[in-house]
Amino acid sequence: MDGSGPFSCPICLEPLREPVTLPCGHNFCLACLGALWPHRGAGGPGGSSGGAARCPLCQEPFPDGLQLRKNHTLCELLQMRQGAGPGSGPAPGLEPAAPSAPEPSAPCAPEPWPGAEEPVRCDACPEGAALPAALSCLSCLASFCPAHLAPHERSPALRGHRLVPPLRRLEDSLCPRHLRPLERYCRLERRCLCEVCAAQEHRGHELVSLDQERALQEAEHPKVLSAAEDRMDELGASIAQARRTVALIKSAAAAERERVNRLFGEAAATLHRFQSEVLGFIDDGEATMLGRSQGDLQQQEKQRSRLSRARQNLSQVPEADSVGFLQELLALRLALEEDGGPGPGPPRELSFTKSSQAVRTVRDVLSAACASQWEQLQGPGSEEDGLQKPGTEEGESQEPDSTDQLETQASRDYFLKFAYIVDLDSDTADKFLQLFGTKGVKRVLCPINYPESPTRFAHCEQVLGQGALDRGTYYWEVEIIEGWVSVGVMAEDCSPQEPYDRGRLGRNAQSCALQWNGHVFSVWFHGLEAVLPQPFAPTVGICLEYADRALAFYAVRDGQMHLLRKLKASRARRGGAPASPVDPFQSRLDSHFGGLFTRRLKPAFFLESVDAHLQIGPLKKSCISVLKRR
């Protein structure tokens, strides 16, 4: 074709309209050939009216009886390029006049076998009698039978065309952007390209011909197939394992669901039985006390009736009847003597009214246990938690995990790896606290004129450390110099304006503390206190573990850590009834202590007595192997 482009007519140099393909492979407008060939068939001066028609481009001769047929594949490509819809009919007036010679009869195409795929037909053969194509030309965008393929073998202009095995959809071998044949392969991006794409967008890439890349890929073909088979075998084994896992999960969930429903049924039956017993207790107490009170009521009503009747009889005796007067007065005296005085008053205590208190206690214990167990269920756990160990019965209680077996003595050097340098925040100190640098604090009698601060405690003699703790493990030490003090942690968002009874360290759900009251150590959380048996130690170590949701207090003596108490929600015990009586303080920890670790915490210090004095540290920097954290 000429330089006007692969989709332009060589005669009118316009985009092809109703394109037809000659046996030589060139494409023309149907109207252009229809206007050209009758003129050439008439011949010039001395020409013969039956002269052979020739291709206007390569002068290949064709018989006059050749029937021109529209190339439908090329027509669809043109419509795709121009954005038109599929298939439009020929324009009126463009149908060429048929050659005068009658159309020779073409041989009939062989019938395909039943169920076999329809072969690709020749685009140059007459419609309805097209023979199977031998090759497809990516330059002509047409498929040819052996007879119509002859010009590609004879004509030097057509020998450069790219011939491939018959393609049913030639557009699949074209670049969707430039509608040119895909002839190159980019190894960098692993895609087939046309010459325009290769020249414009893939400069510097490793480009090879399609045949060269196919030869290389065919050499790798057995390895790829072998790798695919191996991967399919691996996936088959993995799928089988996954199916077994799914079946195991489903069966374990069904069994656990059945056990839970049975246990809930037993718990509901126990509560229902307890409800019946309590209601029966109330009914029995009511009947006993009502019987006694109603008997007294009837006796008093009878006595009052006799007195009323004797008084009325006395009032009806005539003035002159002295005998009657004496007799009725005597009857009134006897009725008065029969009266034993006022009846018993209301009972001091109704025994059955204690029932609501008992039920309330059961309700609180049940709520706390449910909240604790739900928190344990939602907490981090191993996937093997649900697997029962061999030889362990369902109702048998389990020993606590080894991580819960707290060591009562440990080396201080281990804790110094998690040392946290605490500096007191002067903007939080109460006005009755005097700070000595950033490490010491003492409670005084006269208020100190501190500047106004929204974070300053207003009703409690407390001060917080700088920085907030929200992950990891932290350790710091406090030296109790004098007086009653409390040390612990408090949530960063705890309001400093809380009143004294709710704002003190350990008296709310936003803080917990170790207290020394001059006689014993005790721990405080959410308003509850637990007294500790350990003796006084001037240096106290505090270890906060976010991962374990625990806060531990230690007495530090001679480089050794002696555990005072570790505050942590206990794990649920497997089996039935608890092995020990309910500890209210531990129940409060189980219910609410985990929520403390959803907040950012700060070291906190409460000086309770007027002479209280404490010092943070001492922690030498040479002992610290981590950076100061804020």
pLDDT tens for 195-241 read 888 887 887 888 888 888 888 888 888 888 888 888 898 898 889 88
- CA-closest candidate to residue 551, choices 501, 516, 626, 601: 601
Q: Are residues 444 and 525 in the same domain?
A: yes
Per DSSP, 181 falls in state: B
Could you give the C-alpha distances from 6 to 69, 119, 275, 528, in angstroms and in order?
19, 27, 95, 92
Task: Give the mean pLDDT of 345-353.
Answer: 63
**Number of independent structural domains in the chain:** 3
Q: Please check whether residue 144 is in contact with residue 125, taking contact to mean a CB–CB distance below 8 angstroms.
A: no
Q: What residues contact 197, with CB distance under 8 A and at least 6 apart?
A: 175, 177, 178, 184
Confidence of residue 403 (pLDDT cuts 50, 70, 90): very low
Residues 598 and 505 in one domain: yes
Range of the domain at 230: 212-348
191 belongs to a structural domain? no
State how far the Cα of 630 lies from the Cα of 620, in Å rounded to an integer.
18
Least confident window among 85-89, 302-306, 597-601: 85-89
For residue 313, pLDDT beyond 80: yes
Residues 421 and 528 in one domain: yes
Q: What confidence category does residue 48 fall into, taking pLDDT thresholds of 50, 70 and 90?
A: very low
The answer to whether residue 371 is domain-embedded is no
Among 348, 381, 415, the domain boundary falls at 348
Model pLDDT, residue 601: 94
DSSP state of 572: P
In tens, the pLDDT along 22-36 reads 888 888 888 887 777
DSSP 101: S
Q: Indicate the pLDDT class of residue 341, thresholds 50, 70 and 90.
A: low
The dihedral sign for the CA sequence 287, 288, 293, 294: positive
Span 106-135, average pLDDT: 68
Kindly state whether residue 396 falls inside one of the protein's structural domains.
no
Residue 88 has pLDDT above 50, yes or no: no
**What is the pLDDT at residue 119?**
83
Q: Which amino acid is at 115?
A: G
Instruction: Determine contact, residues 244/225, Cβ cutoff 8 Å.
Output: no
Structure tokens that stand for 83 in this block: 């954005």
Judgement on whether residues 37 and 155 belong to the same structural domain of the protein? yes
* Cα→Cα distances 580→237, 532, 590, Å: 49, 19, 15
Residue 92 within a domain: no
Assess if residue 561 is contained within a domain. yes
pLDDT given at position 577: 47
- Together in a domain, 168 and 263: no
Residues 61 and 168 both lie in one domain: yes
Q: Taking the CA of residue 73 as centre, how many other CA atoms within 13 Å lie in the half-sphere pointing to its CB?
A: 25
Q: How far is CA 294 from CA 22, 236, 259, 279, 303, in A?
A: 126, 85, 52, 22, 14
Residue 79: pLDDT over 80: no
Q: Does the structure show a pLDDT above 50 at 96?
A: no
pLDDT digits (tens, 9 = 90+) for 539-591: 999 999 988 899 999 999 888 889 999 999 886 554 444 445 578 898 899 88
pLDDT tens-place string over residues 136-151 = 887 777 888 888 888 8
Q: Is 203 within the bounds of a domain?
A: no
Query: Which one of 331, 348, 365 terminates a domain?
Result: 348
* Least confident piece of the model among 64-73, 258-267, 343-352, 389-398: 389-398
The rounded distance, in Å, linking the Cα atoms of 488 and 601 is: 10
Token pair of 492 as six digits: 């960063």
Beta bridge partners of 463: 605
* 163 and 223 together in one domain: no
CATH of the domain at 54: 3.30.40.10
Q: How far apart are CA 455 and CA 576, in angstroms?
A: 48
Residue 445 shares a structural domain with residue 522: yes
What is the rounded distance in angstroms from the CA atom of residue 609 to the CA atom of residue 34? Answer: 117
d(CA 530, CA 565): 10
What's the whole-number mean pLDDT along residues 82-102?
Answer: 42
Query: What is each CA distance from 181 to 109, 184, 189, 200, 602, in whole angstroms?
Result: 29, 9, 18, 15, 72
The reply to whether 146 and 247 lie within a common domain is no
Among 147-161, 224-238, 309-323, 411-425, which is the least confidently predicted range?
Answer: 147-161
**DSSP H helix total and E strand total for the chain:** 10, 24
CB 253 within 8 A of CB 261: no
Specify the amino acid at residue 422: V
Mean pLDDT of 163-187: 77
148-167 pLDDT, tens digit per residue, is 888 888 777 777 787 878 87
Assess if residue 384 is contained within a domain. Answer: no
CA gap 266, 260 in Å, rounded: 10
Same domain, 415 and 342: no
Last residue of a domain, one of 321, 348, 375: 348
How many angstroms separate the first and last alpha carbons of the chain? Answer: 78
Helix (H) or strand (E) holding 551: strand 550-557
3-state secondary structure of 359: helix
In a domain, 543, yes or no: yes
Same domain, 463 and 609: yes
- Give pLDDT, residue 396: 39
Peptide bond into 618 cis (omega under 30): yes
Give the confidence band of 326 by pLDDT, cuts at 50, 70, 90: confident
Q: Which stretch of 5-14, 167-176, 337-346 has the lowest confidence by average pLDDT? A: 337-346
Contact 551, 487 (CB under 8 A): no
What does the radius of gyration of the chain's CA atoms come to, in whole angstroms? 53
CATH assignment at residue 526: 2.60.120.920
Q: Which of 157, 6, 34, 154 minimizes the C-alpha distance to 90?
A: 34
